[in-house]
Homo-oligomer: A and B are copies of this chain.
Amino acid sequence: MPVNLSSPRAADLWAVPGVRLGITEAGVRKANRKDLTVILLDEGSAVAGVFTRNRFCAAPVQVCREHLSQGEGIRALVINTGNANAGTGAQGLADARATCDAMAGLLSLKPTQILPFSTGVIMEPLPVDRIVAGLPAALAHAQADHWAQAAEGIMTTDTLPKAYSVQVPIAGVPVSITGISKGAGMIRPNMATMLGFLATDANIAPKLLQALTTELADGSFNRITIDGDTSTNDSFIVVATRKAAHPPITSLSSTEGQALKAALMQVARQLAHAIVRDGEGATKFITLQIEGGQTAQECRQVAYAIAHSPLVKTAFFASDPNLGRILAAVGYAGIDDLDQTRIDLYLDDVLVAVQGGRNPNYQEADGQRVMKQSEILVRVLLGRGTASDTVWTCDLSHDYVSINADYRS
């Protein structure tokens, strides 16, 4: 059961001028599944991406990096589920390239104008023939208002499709921002989402897009974690079709640049949160806010130590205010000169620990009340400085084990 998340309604998702999406059943792994999605971009679109830092990155990630660096103008994305084309060696690379070749042939483009994405089981050969055979049907299905269907088309163990959309005025001109994401396990920063696609018709200078994309990822997908596993395939792509009729944005610090960035961040963060809310087996959405650090980096370290502790995560699942487990995680986060006698811990508004010990006024009933909520804020005050950072995560339940023990069955 996802935590406070519902299926996006197609009517709530703005079409983005210059973007069309088509979905079909290619039979990649199982029959009767929408498992192949294409996203077509008009000429003149700017595209940037951030990818997994896993050294065992999948073949499509390697091909995406290559094609983006060649700068021929990306015109289409091909996304299959059911198979990640990772741990597949030289054959996997050849298969990812074959997908691009076939798509380029159908659209009279160069293969380097296509980006391939795969998600699903690792280390099984990609059934590239079935993907190639499915491309014409996906193309025939492509329409501007298929965002909700595309959100479904890229799902794997997700229980709900994930999409979010806003429209904002830029210099008085309405600009659309719509995105979809997928991922429910093997989620950890750098990157967190297994796949995320964000598109806008804003007219932004192409040279600004890569820095903006990195910043968006750092404020959203790179701040979530479910199980600490960094996927081989994580990809976050931002597209700007530049069709909106406002004057071009040439600086991110201009009024228009800031407005666009804020709106894009809102969408990216909603998509990232949706992944946590639909985290495998998740029953709670937890915000870890670490304050009073010397650096934001050490705050993140503490946040991730808490977020990745199976003991903390199972205590949240049980609604058990066994909060010493949080202090223990703070202690092993790797800050060598941490002084435990300066640490305070809040659960929402409840002050649980003061100066490293139990708050004398703390009542277990108060902790219990917060632990039963579906949304919980954990605040740790390190008492070392003024830096802070935030990470979002979920609990660890029986269903996480069931889902991952049965995933391939």
Contact = CB atoms under 8 A, between A and B. Distances in A.
Q: Which of A124, A330, A332 has most B Cβ within 10 Å?
A: A332
A63 to B, nearest CB: 15
Contacts of A320: 405, 407-409
A396 interface: yes
A402 interface: yes
Contact of A89 (B91, B356, B406): B356
Interface residues of A, number: 72
Contacts of A161: none
A141 interface: no
Copies of chain A in the complex: 2
Contact of A328 (B229, B353, B408): B229
A122 B322 contact: yes
For the residues of A in contact with B, the DSSP-based class is loop
A397 B398 CA distance: 8
A208 interface: no
A22 interface: no
A228 B309 contact: yes
Interface stretch (A105-113, A131-139, A286-294, A333-341): A333-341
A56 B259 CA distance: 43
Contact of A186 (B227, B311, B398): B311
Q: Which of A87, A229, A338, A358 has most B Cβ within 10 Å?
A: A87
15 contacts: A54-B331, A54-B332, A57-B340, A87-B358, A89-B356, A122-B322, A122-B328, A124-B324, A228-B308, A229-B310, A232-B324, A308-B308, A314-B400, A314-B401, A320-B407
